[in-house]
A and B are shown apart, each in its own frame.
Chain A
Amino acid sequence: QVQLQESGPGLVKPSQTLSLTCTVSGGSISSGDYYWSWIRQPPGKGLEWIGYIYYSGSTYYNPSLKSRVTISVDTSKNQFSLKLSSVTAADTAVYYCARFGSYDMTFDYWGQGTLVTVSS
């Protein structure tokens, strides 16, 4: 059973860079059938896809966030990471990592989510 777990600071100051890591267990991040994704949900609001990465390092980002987002992968640690720069209060959200199946185009396994608050 694949499991994903987000980790990182729960509080980030405005204008700084948000950094999160997702650790994958129960399966290899180097599996060619999947992309590894970040999705966020502001408190009381809906879901927003941030982007995803293939194990080779190829990335695809939401056009609305592309200028501030970097997703990277470390296959040796079975981890992938998110960096979001120049954050504001609008970036306060629960951040989820999720596995995306390229065959069925679904986010089929999700982490539990981690709340990141942007505040001074």
Chain B
Amino acid sequence: QSALTQPRSVSGSPGQSVTISCTGTSSDVGGYNYVSWYQQHPGKAPKLMIYDVSKRPSGVPDRFSGSKSGNTASLTISGLQAEDEADYYCCSYAGSYVFGTGTKVTVL
């Protein structure tokens, strides 16, 4: 399977909203509601932020939200904060598991 397609980078000022897209096919993103999102700070392990397209694990701020339309999933960060600057990866079930290409979020 090919990696899911994400924009290389997105940026926003503190307090603004940014949205990261994750585009796949009907065999992965479009075929299952098993899309998750991971945040990774430099030199650290990824951290689960969203699962089942739009659910937040305990402890994840509610400014992180997820959605899906067709073969594209999205992660929105509202009220952007400095600590949100990191790489973000989507992941989908596809018979096996496939990750996105990754998006660097920069807080201006």
| Residues in chain A within 8 A of chain B (CB atoms) | 45-49, 60-64, 96, 104-108, 110-113
Contact = CB atoms under 8 A, between A and B. Distances in A.
Contacts of A60: 96
Interface string B14-42: 00000000000000000000101010000
A108 B45 CA distance: 11
6 contacts: A46-B100, A47-B102, A48-B99, A49-B99, A63-B1, A106-B51
Given A105-B51, A106-B36, A113-B45, A46 B99 contact: yes
Given A104-B52, A107-B46, A107-B48, A63 B96 contact: yes
Contacts, number: 54
A42 to B, nearest CB: 12
A106 B3 CA distance: 17
B101 interface: yes
Q: How large is the interface on B (under 10, 10 to 19, 20 to 34, 35 or more residues)?
A: 20 to 34
B3 A46 contact: yes
Nearest to A52: B97
Contacts of B93: 105
B37 to A, nearest CB: 10
Contacts of B91: 47, 49, 107
B55 to A, nearest CB: 8
B46 A47 contact: yes
B61 interface: no
